[in-house]
Structure 1
Amino acid sequence: MITVLLADDEALVRAGLRMILETEPDLEVVAEAADGAEAVALCRQHHPAVALLDVRMPGIDGLQAARRIAADPDLNTTVVMLTTFDSDDALVAALKAGAAGFLLKSMPRERLIGAVRTATSGEALLAPQITRRLLADLVERSRPQARSDPRLAELTDREREVLVLMARGMSNAEIAEHLVVGTGTVKTHVARVLTKLRVRGRVQAVVVAYEAGLVRAGA
């Protein structure tokens, strides 16, 4: 069973999300929050597998809540940001805050359900149109100030190769096929990359790769 926390300041939005998710036998909404502070407190109480956080909430917003949840060593909650807009600044801030993905509330219900399941698998999840904007934004930001990140020096050649493939948007299965290795081997490499880069998720690792100039759009 995948447990989920919903955080949105609009009760009707939370009710709609709950109704969609709980039609699935493997998904359970264990708590609802109306702001970021309540979301953090309820995460610490219920330890949900996934937290769906609205970006804009009163008081402590979704970005601040994401940072607190990601930084809590007692939590193993995957944060996914939900919003009605796709601002580049909000997107990059959310990913740097520790979110595993950034999804639009306008997405079809089937994609939302799939995204919650994907979040627990360790794969990155971003709406396709947002992925393109993210990569373009990070590349543009990295051009004038790209510099070597000392954390990258800790990676082996194979780990750097895996990171580049992650940055190209490949899933573990696609990386395994590309490198002609097993998915278990890829998962091990990904875990080591995250550990050495000292990031919580693969999306944050991709951000490091782009900002350091390790990869470029279309490369």
Structure 2
Amino acid sequence: MDHREPPIVVTGGLAWCIAAGTHVFEQMQLPGEVVAADTPAAVAERLHADPGAAVVYVCGAATPRHFHGLERLRGEHPHAHLIAASPEPDMSVAQHARALGLLGYTHFDAAPEATADVIQRVRAGERAFMPADQPPSSQPPRLADPDLERRVQRLTRRERQVMELLGQGFANRDIAEALGLREGTIRIYVHRVIRQLGMRNRVDVALCASRMNKPA
């Protein structure tokens, strides 16, 4: 008999949110295979194959873009085991998920056993909303690496604006519109920020920025 746990399907409105969520939840070694679904069709396909799957929608920030994505997911799959997630504790995301009727909420800074408990309870049809009013006291400072903090401080004002907007879940097109620049120029800024911070990609930059809580 197959006792395989249903999968944990990670989705979201932006590619970096999906990539970050998939990476974080894989590291947590949660009950069930973690799989990415980068389109609504991919989510539907996964749920058709396994209706017991838990679907985690990653909100990069509490913005209309992400909330609209949550609403669409809820409307398309009203009976699925839906969970909202955010890079760090975010009361607005948790409250919006609850208001929409999602079954749960978690965040990347949560202990693996706490996130596993949310997923298991949601799979059982229960509501499981992790407290989002403050980060766990055991978590390290937002910028624990002094060298990284120095590199961030050396960014130009424009580079820090781009970094901040990445942390809020903005795509290049939206950053360009917000700053009044061309999308090609934003791509250059993003590459410069990645290089100057010594990071691998825009996902790492976005996660770092989302934890800073500092204005650009």
Question: Could you state the TM-score of these two structures normalised by the residue count of structure 1?
Answer: 0.46
Larger relative contact order (C-alpha < 8 A, sep ≥ 6)?
A: 2
Question: Could you state the TM-score of these two structures normalised by the residue count of structure 2?
Answer: 0.47
